[in-house]
Amino acid sequence: MFMQTIIILGFIVFVFILTLRLFKMPPELSMIISAFVGALVAGFGLPLRHIVEGTYTYLDIILTIISATIFMNILKESGAIFSIVRSMVVKFYKHRLILLILLMLVLLLPGALTGAGSVSVLISGGIVAMVLEYMGISLINVTAIVFIGAALSIPAPPVNIYAMIISGGVNMPYIGFFIPLAITVLILAIFSVLFLGWQGKPLELNEIINKLPQVPSKMTGLRVYLPLIVLACLMLSTRLFPHVLPILGLPFVFLISAVVALLVIWISGEKVNVFLISKRTIKQLFPLISTLIAVGIFVQILSLTGVRGLFVITVISLPLWLVYVALAIGLPLGEAILLFGVAAVLGVPLILLFNSLGLDPILATVGVSLICPLGDALPPTRIIGRLTTETVDYKGPYVNLLKKIIVPWIVITLVGIILVVFSNSLKFLLI
């Protein structure tokens, strides 16, 4: 039985590499085809029931991502994001430290709310990059800041897709992640932006204010922040009053906040086309949605054929030092090939192992989810890395970007490993 599973895994890996490298297929399609081949080799034919179940495995995550991205795109189309950045520049252009931190928060917000780092690049990457360049930061450093911000926005709360996938795989509720994720992501993000952006020149307000995108005259002040305030209140209220208020669910919370944003826009005398925004959102998120569907099918077939169990047994039987090496090297490489699939293929066995060793599974999951998105800078996919260079208009050698982010990369990896190894000592983070 063990040898049979090894053979099935061999066919899956061979077909995946063949379709990905030789036929230049997207990773999602390669995963689905290799899963089908694995099922055929295992003697299950074309298991339609498992394919359908796998397709809907991450439906709740997909609904959350869609509703959150619609909300963020409404804010962008209304000029709210530009208004927020503009007000930051006007108030803090003389305070470089504060402005750098606030710009990093603007980078983190879209990805944190949607779970997709690409959304951070598309919604706030361009405007943040423009301000950073006027602060005298070199283009390569600006590119590195936008990439790190987008990468860290993926594990940032409230929507951490890696943690959601791992939690579903080990039957652990997605509860208790907010505080440890918020603390670690903020510390790492602040360190990265200061390390990469501290050197530069004083910001000339008159020079940049005319270059920033214009915003509607009434889209200023508190009303710009009102949708975000409503969103925060809805998220916190069910946690603060769990026995009084019903659990609305993240998709519904984002839709309510989107309605509030539309009301603010209407009161301000502006108009946005919700249908076009929704259509553009689905087109924008199609690669991510297809990834989650492909990962669901892939993991379902791996479970059916016994390959997933083989992964678990192999990881559990590895020497502990090799497991920690796998955290630093295997997770980014797995992300570069499997994208979010790395959470199911490698993340789930790792958390099962750490739990069996008596380590805290929540903090261990936090550590794993911090390291994974670094792989979005690596080929063959390098989704966020490629999108960042296009958005910032960086034309230099891509390897220079990898060199520039090496120090933040090492720091993020070390923090992730520390959260795993010393998870029991860091339980005070679990508020």
Give Dmax (Cα) for the chain.
Answer: 72
Distance CA 23, CA 29 (A): 11
Give 144 or 59, the one with higher predicted confidence: 144
**CA torsion, points 127, 131, 136, 139, in degrees to nearest 10?**
-10
- pLDDT bracket for residue 310 (50, 70, 90): confident
The predicted-structure confidence for 258-276, as pLDDT tens digits, reads as follows 999 999 888 887 788 889 9
- According to the per-residue pLDDT averaged within each range, which of 134-148, 343-357, 376-390 is highest? 134-148
Give 365 or 217, the one with higher predicted confidence: 365
Q: Per the structure block, which two tokens stand in for 299? A: 């993991």
What pLDDT, on the 0 to 100 scale, is given for residue 418? 96
- pLDDT bracket for residue 375 (50, 70, 90): very high
Distance CA 385, CA 151 (A): 9
The predicted-structure confidence for 40-62, as pLDDT tens digits, reads as follows 999 999 898 999 999 998 888 88
Give 207 or 71, the one with higher predicted confidence: 71
- pLDDT bracket for residue 14 (50, 70, 90): very high
CA distances for 11 relative to 17, 18, 241, angstroms: 10, 10, 52
* Cβ atoms 188, 411 nearer than 8 A: yes
Q: Per the structure block, which two tokens stand in for 265? A: 């826009």
Considering just the CA atoms, what is the radius of gyration of the chain in Å? 22
Run of H or E residues at 300: helix 274-305
Amino acid at 405: I
Q: How high does pLDDT run on average in the chain? A: 89
What pLDDT, on the 0 to 100 scale, is given for residue 404? 96
Distance CA 362, CA 375 (A): 22
What pLDDT, on the 0 to 100 scale, is given for residue 1? 60
